[in-house]
Structure 1
C-alpha cells in the first residue's frame, strides 16, 4: 500500500519538509510557553558561546546543549499534543507519557547546566 501523502519526491519534498518544520517551530513558539522561554535563553546563550574564549569543541558543546534542549522541548510538546488529541481524560498511561517526556526535558536542562558549568570552569 502506498500513502497518498507521500507522493512528492525530490527537491519539492525537501522544500515542503522545510515549510512543515517552520510551521512546527511557529506553532511551538505561539503555543508553548516553555519553548518560548528556551528560545529566548538560546538567543542569549548562543551568542555568548560564540564570543567566549574557548576551543571549537567546547563551543560546539555549549551550542549543542542549548539546541538539544530546544529539540527535547519540541518532542515533549509533540507528545503532549498527541496525548491531548487522543483524549483529555485522565489516564495513567497518558500521565506516564507526559511525565516521561517532561523528565527528558529536565535531564536535557541538567545536561545544559553541566556542560556550561564545566566549560566555563575549565576556561576561567
Structure 2
C-alpha cells in the first residue's frame, strides 16, 4: 500500500486538517480533554480581564495552552498503549502514569503561576 506524499501548500493544508481532526476527536471522545480545554479557556478569558503586564498576560496565556497541549499528548500516549494491548503490563502502566504525571505537573505549575501573578 502506497501512501501519497503531499508537498508545499497542499501538505500544509493536509497537516492542518489532520491536526484539527485530532483536536475535535479529543473533544468529542475524551472527558479529561474537554475539562482541561474548558478550564484553560476560562483561564484565558479571565487573564484578559486582569490589569497586569503584557509579560504576565503572555505567561498566563502560555499556561492555558500548555495544559491543552500536554493533555493531547497524554491522550495520544494512552491511545497508542491501548492500541498495542489492553493487557495490564508494567511498561504500559509506566507510560500511562508518566504521561499523567506530566499533566499533573503542568496543572500544579499553572496554579502556582496564577497565584504568583494574581496575588
Q: TM-score range by the shorter chain?
A: over 0.9
Q: CA deviation at 1:50?
A: 1.2
Instruction: Tell me which residue corresponds to 1:95.
Output: 93
Count residues with an aligned counterpart: 118
Deviations 1:35-85 (A, max 9, x none): 100111122111111121000110011010111011000000000000000
Moved over 6 A (4+): none
Runs of 5+ consecutive residues of structure 2 not aligned to the other structure: none
Whether 1:84 aligns to 2:82 is yes
> Over residues 68-113 of structure 1, what are the superposed CA-to-partner deviations in whole Å (9 max), with x where a residue is unaligned?
0110000000000000000000100000000000000000001110
Give unmatched runs, 5+ long, in structure 1: none
* Deviation of 1:6 (Å): 6.0
Q: Distance in 2 between matches of 1:21 and 1:28?
A: 11
> Residue 16 of structure 2 is aligned with which of 11, 15, 18?
18
